[in-house]
Amino acid sequence: MTAHRSPGAPYYYISHALTVPSDPWLRAFHTDLQSEIYRRLGPDPGYTGLLSQLHPGPWGADGWDCTPVMRCRTLLVLLTERYYREPRALGDLAVFRRRLLWEQHQTGERSTALVPVLWNTEGLPPRREPDTLNVPVGDYTAAGLSRLVGAPHARGGYLKVLRAVVERILTGARHSPPAMTPEDLYFTVSPGVSGMPRIPLTAGSFPDRQFAPVQVRLLPTHAAPPSHRAETRWAAAPRRSWFSTPGNHDRPILRGPHS
C-alpha cells in the first residue's frame, strides 16, 4: 500500500452505470459539485474530481489496474437499478471497499470516504448501501437526485442535497483510505477473497512480467522400500562419540551429544 495521498489522485471520483454518460443532468450535477468544492476549498487542482466514462467490454478489459478508484480520495456512487448489474461499476466498488478495509485495519476506525447517493430509485433493490446519503428532502428520497437537477420548483431541495454530498466528500477526503498500486491489486484480486471481483488471471493481467519454467523434483508419496545395497565406507565407518580421538590422517569431527 502507498501513502494516504497519491500525487495526481482525483479528489473525488463519480462512479455510475448510466447508459448515457453525456446526460445533461449528470453533467450539471458534476459541474455544481465541483463548483461548490472550489468555493469551499479554493480553485486548487488538488481538489478536482473526475467523472467516470463507460466503455464497452468487461470490467478490466482496458487496463483495470490503472482505474482512478485505486487512488481517488473519495468515491461518490450514483445508485441506480443498472448499477448493480454493471460489472465495471461493481468492480470499482469492490476495489474501493478493499481500500476501506485496509484503512480500518491500520487505524481501527471506519472511513467515510464512500458516499452512495440515490440517483434514480426506480427499480432499486430493497436493500440499499448502508452509507447511502440520507437528507430529509421528500423528492430526493422518493425519486432520486436526478429528478431535482435542473427542476426550478425543487431548487431549494437540490441545493440542500448538493451541500450534504459536498460535506460528506470533504469529511471522507480527510480520512481517505490508502491508495492502491497494481501490485496490491495482483495480490488481492482472487476468487477466494470475500468481496473482491472474480477477475480471470490471464497473461494480460500481468503486464511486463515473465515467469521462467521451474523444474520440480517428484517426491514419493509413500515410504521407499528398504535398500539392500552395501553401506558406503562413510556410512560403515564406526561412530565417534563427542570425545572420540581421530585416527591417523583423520580430521576431528565435532558432534552433538545426541549424534
Of 4 and 163, which is predicted with more confidence?
163
Mean pLDDT of 58-83: 79
* Per-residue model confidence as pLDDT tens digits over 206-237: 333 333 444 545 555 555 555 555 544 544 44
Calpha distance 90→32 (Å, rounded): 26
Give the per-residue pLDDT at 200. Answer: 36
* Per-residue model confidence as pLDDT tens digits over 173-183: 998 999 888 77
Calpha distance 75→12 (Å, rounded): 6
Record the cell numbers describing residue 243, joined without a space. Answer: 570425545
Mean pLDDT of 230-245: 46
Record the cell numbers describing residue 47, joined without a space. Answer: 481538489
Give the per-residue pLDDT at 236. Answer: 47
pLDDT interval class at 192 (50, 70, 90): very low
Q: How is the chain split among helix, strand and coil, in percent rounded to 5?
A: 35, 5, 55
Q: Are strands 74-79 and 114-118 parallel, antiparallel or unpaired?
A: parallel
Task: Give the predicted TM-score (pTM) of the model.
Answer: 0.67
Q: What percentage of residues in the chain have a pLDDT greater than 70?
A: 63
* Per-residue model confidence as pLDDT tens digits over 97-156: 999 998 888 888 888 999 999 999 998 887 778 889 988 888 898 889 999 998 888 899
Give the per-residue pLDDT at 97. Answer: 92
Of 50 and 125, which is predicted with more confidence?
50
Judged against a pLDDT cut of 80, whether residue 6 lies above it is answered with no
Average pLDDT in the chain: 75
Mean pLDDT of 14-40: 91
Question: For 113, left (φ over 0), alpha (ψ -120 to 50), or beta?
Answer: alpha
Asked if 198 contacts 69 with a C-beta cutoff of 8 angstroms, the reply is no
